[in-house]
Amino acid sequence: MDPRQVLEGILYVLRTGCQWKALPKEYGSASSVHKYFQFWREEGFFETIWAAGLHTYDEMEGIGWEWQSIDGNMIKAPLALEAVGRNPTDRGKKRNQAQPAGGAERVALGHRHRRSEHA
């Protein structure tokens, strides 16, 4: 297979997030492209081109390495509620729909029906 075509196929999967099996035929066999991906990953190919890209960008624009940071915080943004509203799964719910313990439905007094009335 043409290595350029294989790389384009790999980049297509990584950009779109599609499954390997959904790779368009124009890039070649999905299983072959995936095998190349695994092999190149093990050989450090992607790390090498990443490092080369960083080096080139650093020469062209300069990377402020002293200002780089990473944030692993995994909590909700405190002001997000104002921007996006309530959780989408809760937006249509009414507040009094909760069921009592034991799973029995709430029945208002005087509205209890017998099976024979519905038959």
Give the Cα separation of 36 and 44 in Å (integer). 12
The model's pLDDT over 16-69, given as tens digits with 9 standing for 90+, comes to 999 999 999 999 999 999 999 999 999 999 999 999 999 999 999 988 877 767
Domain borders along the chain are 3-63
Among 17, 16, 8, 56, residue whose Cα is nearest residue 36:
8
The model's pLDDT over 95-105, given as tens digits with 9 standing for 90+, comes to 655 555 555 55
C-alpha distances (whole Å) from 40 to each of 2, 19, 50, 84 are: 14, 18, 13, 42
